[in-house]
Amino acid sequence: MKTSRYAYITTILFLTLFLYSTGLGAQSILNKEVYINIQHGSTVELLDAIENETGIAFSYSNKVCISESIHLSSQQNTLRGLLNEIFSACDVQLEERKKKIIILPKQKTSAPKFVISGFVKNIDSDEILIGSSVYDALKWEGTTSNNFGFYSLTLPAGRTLLSCSFVGYLPIQHAFILDKDTTINFDLLYNSHIKEVPILGYIAQEGINTTRTSTINVPVDQIQKFPSFLGEVDVIKTLQLLPGINSGNEGISGLHVRGGGVDQNLYLLDDVPVYNISHLFGFFSVFNADALNNISVTKGGFPARYGGRLSSVIDIRMKDGNNEKISGTVSIGMMSSKIALDGPLIKDKTTFSVSARRSYFDLFAMPIQSKSNSRTAFYFYDANGKIAHKLSDKSKLFLSFYGGRDKFYTKYNYNEVRNPDQPSDGNEMIDVNDQSYSGWGNIVGSLRWNYIYNDKLFSNLSVSYSNYSYFVGYEEHDITPNLWSYFEQRYHSGISDAMVKTNFDYFLNPKHHIRFGASYTHHNFNPGADILRRTQNTTTVLDSTFGGDIIYGHEMFAYIEDDFEITDKLKVNAGIHASLYKTNNNIYQSFQPRISARYLISPRVAIKAAYSEMTQYMHLLGSSSVSLPTDLWIPVTDYIKPQDADQYALGAKWQLQRGFEIGVEAYYKKYKNLLISIYNRPLYSNSSDFAEELTYGDGYSKGIEFLLHKKTGDLTGWIGYALSKSRQRFELINDGNEFPSANDRKHSVNIYSNYRLNEKVDFSLSWSFGTGNAVTLPTQKFYSPSLPSQGNLVDDSYSEYVGNVNNYRMPKFHRLDIGANFKKEIKLGERTWSVGLYNAYGQQNAFSVYFADELNEDTGEVNRSLKQLSIFPVPLPYIRYTLKF
């Protein structure tokens, strides 16, 4: 009885103490509901707001994370809930002391770690999203998706708030308990007009958080709204509006990046080099925006995985294809028409994407010239294709293709003659004509295999082929009553590459992303061959070929780089790119260190710095200041050395809000072994004699660039400014004195803006201003009298004397382009009318300048004056119809 009473009293006492302690817990100030008058601010500002509202004082260790910018999910929460959000970037423990809260860093435990991996895609089309940010918002650790949309992140077990974001897409968060290796695929919804979306745990945008410097990603959506020449959307002309990049000449689609030459840009189409990017002698580029998924431009701070060029890498990725349904685009413009289709071939297994376009200048010109004895025409076409096939959850195949061609010809001297294949008494007549022609084109193809070895190791193996060829020639017929002879001369040159390449991404942990790989390229250079064909009396055929010796080169490289975090604020990418080039008798080697670093001043502000060495094993020789298809690619040989460059960059980037950044960057670049022909001619032979016609030089370029870039919202676009200087020096040119590079441009300002009025209408404009580039003009003209030569008199003539190289500055140029897009839903899909004006206020910008003599008929005096050629002196309207279905 005594025992049971004791047990009863003990039980009552225990329950009383338990209920009392529960009551005390219920009265804890941490569970008190609190409302504060701000929702966004720094850690200190939010704690001050809570203290003012509740009278509770806070004491915290200097080891807890202090943020400059925090966005709370709500202004009302429990005190514990508010503090958990404020310190979501780090684990803390809260100790209550009457009217005071002590905040201490939580003691770390050796919790097991697990891997989260997967792909980031567009939810509507299943297209991968390259460079997406994937972060744990609670632990402030994350990564980015690679060029195939794959990511991997190793985190400690426990509560996880995994966030994914990409510019122009709605962010997603997944909250879960991480207790095993997990696969999470993110499907993001595209909406480029979203406002700032508050999400728990601020995530730095990829442009801020990564170590990449001098790199700009331009959304394809912005490019497709760009006001364009004759309505032809052009990727390269859009890039020309970015600071540090210019065209060199008005209207041309070439790129001069930070003072570099057009040959110093590496254009990659699905990781395959493209050697010539021009249609219509450079007025358009070969890249069809309807076929593209992602475009990035790297101007400096090159990661170790890139090599082979000195000035830039333009990495262009084609669409994989819609995995949900067949979709397409048909577009008809003043210059060309195009069609694009993509969709599934086998549901959830195989997708395809194809596009094609063709110009029709020739179709319009030929009927107009049908009654003329001289007919000129020009056309170009290109096609893109891609098939992606999923072998398994860990393995995927990609087959990519591009082919394009330009042809320009003039036909004249039309005649009707008897068919030579008929008997001598035959009466059948055929039409013949003389003609001159030229053409150029690219063929690019690749087969790539992705394989995920495990949750941390991703690989890509590719076999690819790239070919660029150029030809020019003429045909003529000599017709007399008793003789019909035919003569043709044809010159062709080109370059082709066969390449095998392997890349690996190893996501060791959130603090280390390691990339490594190797590549081998077999180069075939055809410096040029003349083919002559003669036919006499329609029976005797005489063929002969001059030149055409193929030059082979073997280029290899291997690289390794690590993107690693030293502290929460300091992140570094360091690597080495080792390359080798074998000629007939020589082997050139190059070890190129690369390092770039990012320091976070706050979650929205980063300082970045970089250094990179680059080596290029080929040169481009041209005979004019304009990059033309006739310019000649020549390789490194036993007599020709590779060119090199070192570049330093230092800059800062400030993220005003998601998708809205300000960047400023200064750079200095030094060149070695630049190559030029003393006689300003591109003729080439693989001999020491030809090498004596070349001279090597050095150069440098330096400048500062500013970019304000807004990628989301109703108003998008950018403002860019560059202040730069580029100089070269050759011992045998200009008396060995330094002179401005042909692409030197001191000031350039570029503005692009698109405003979305509503769902159906948007307006766009672009405005460019720039200092004229440098050109060489004669400084004196003198009379050359008739002189006896081999018993004959040479005609009187004038000669010109050229003093300094690039001694004249072209006039400054500026141009405004405007456009508008009008959309409407119809039964077939969405139709868009695009209209606009190129050179809207008719500025007569100089394409070239020259001296001309004019005779004054009254006095008989000859006046010599400087003239300019303007190829677009008046506003050019355009209109294009597009149907998406």
**pLDDT tens sequence across 633-672:** 888 988 889 999 999 999 999 988 777 889 999 999 999 9
* E strand or H helix that includes residue 786: none
**What one-letter code names the amino acid at 155?**
L
Q: How confident is the model at residue 21 (pLDDT cuts 50, 70, 90)?
A: very low
Gap between the Cα atoms of 542 and 544, Å rounded = 7
Give the angle subtended at the CA of 730 by the CAs of 728 and 732, to the nearest 5°: 150
**Nearby residues of 68 by Cβ (< 8 Å), 6 or more positions away:** 42, 43, 602, 603, 604, 605
Q: What's the pLDDT at 420?
A: 60
The residue-averaged pLDDT of 163-170 equals: 84
Is 409 exposed, middle or buried, given 0-12, 13-18 or 19+ CB atoms closer than 10 A? middle
pLDDT beyond 60 at 715 = yes
Find tokens 């250079």 and name the residue. Answer: 525
How far is 455 from 158, CA to CA, in rounded Å? Answer: 19
Q: What does the pLDDT average to over 437-442?
A: 90
pLDDT at 680 (0 to 100): 58
> How many angstroms from the chain centroid is the CA of residue 744?
22
pLDDT digits (tens, 9 = 90+) for 198-226: 444 444 455 678 888 888 888 788 788 88
DSSP code, position 471: E
Q: Report the distance separating Cα 146 and Cα 670, nearest Å.
A: 31
Q: How many CA atoms lie within 13 A of 847 on its CB side?
A: 10
Angstrom distances, CA of residue 665 to CA of 213, 649, 672, 811: 9, 7, 23, 27
At 454 the pLDDT is 92
Confidence of residue 419 (pLDDT cuts 50, 70, 90): low
Instruction: Identify the weakest region by mean pLDDT among 30-34, 56-60, 422-426.
Output: 422-426
Determine the average pLDDT of the residues in 20-45.
70
pLDDT at 437 over 90: no
How high is the pLDDT of residue 20? 38
What is the C-alpha to C-alpha distance for residues 361 and 378, in angstroms, rounded to an integer? 6
What is the pLDDT averaged over residues 798-809? Answer: 76
Report pLDDT for 752.
93
Nearest Cα to Cα of residue 261 among 802, 723, 673: 673
Grade residue 329 by pLDDT with cuts at 50, 70 and 90.
Answer: very high
pLDDT of residue 385: 95
Task: List the one residue out of 444, 445, 543 whose CA is nearest residue 488.
Answer: 543
Q: How far is the C-alpha of 306 from the C-alpha of 271, rounded, in Å?
A: 10
* Count of C-beta atoms within a 10 Å radius of residue 144: 19
Q: Flag whether pLDDT at 3 surpasses 60.
A: no
Cβ 648 vs Cβ 667: under 8 Å: yes
Residue 681 has pLDDT above 70, yes or no: no
Helix, strand, coil proportions of the chain in percent (round to 5)? 10, 55, 35
pLDDT over 50 at 9, yes or no = no
Task: Specify whether the CB–CB gap between 546 and 607 falls below 8 A.
Answer: no
Q: What is the tens place of the pLDDT at every residue in 246-256? A: 876 665 767 88
- What is the predicted pLDDT for the residue at 28? 67
Share of the chain above pLDDT 90, in %: 39
| pTM (2 d.p.) | 0.82
Report d(CA 74, CA 413) in Å as an integer.
82
Tokens 């690996």 label which residue?
Answer: 504
Is pLDDT at 772 greater than 50 in this prediction? yes
pLDDT digits (tens, 9 = 90+) for 526-546: 877 677 776 765 555 566 666
Is residue 397 within 8 Å of residue 406, measured between CB atoms? no
Average pLDDT over residues 38-57: 85
Nearest-Å Rg of the Cα atoms of the chain is 33
For range 183-208, the mean pLDDT: 66
Q: How many CB atoms lie within 10 A of CB 669?
A: 25
pLDDT of residue 361: 79
User: Residue 684: what pLDDT?
Assistant: 53
Q: How far apart are CA 736 and CA 757, in angstroms?
A: 57
Burial 180-199 (b: 16+ CB within 10 A, else e): eebebebebebebebeeeeb
Q: What is the pLDDT of residue 629?
A: 64
Most confident region among 13-22, 193-202, 849-858 by mean pLDDT: 849-858
- Which residues are registered as beta bridge partners of 775? 808
Locate all alpha helices (DSSP H) within 264-399, ordered by sequence.
361-368
Strands 788-789 and 829-838: unpaired
Mean pLDDT of the chain: 83
Number of H helices, E strands in the chain: 8, 58
* 25, pLDDT greater than 50: no
pLDDT tops 60 at residue 7:
no
Q: Give the chain's length.
A: 885
CA distance 618 to 621: 10
Query: 482 versus 333: which is more confidently predicted?
Result: 333
Alpha-carbon span 168 to 658, nearest angstrom: 9
Higher pLDDT, 15 or 706: 706
Q: How many CA atoms lie within 13 A of 147 on its CB side?
A: 21
Average pLDDT on 499-526 reads 94
pLDDT tier, 852 (very low <50, low <70, confident <90, very high otherwise): confident
Strand partners, 357: 338, 382
d(CA 569, CA 260): 33
% of the chain exceeding 70 in pLDDT = 84
d(CA 227, CA 816): 10
The pLDDT score that the predictor gives to residue 203 is 47
What are the pLDDT digits (tens) for 263-297? Answer: 899 999 999 999 988 888 777 889 988 899 889 99
Please check whether residue 866 is in contact with residue 816, taking contact to mean a CB–CB distance below 8 angstroms: no
Q: Are 396 and 390 in contact (CB under 8 A)?
A: yes
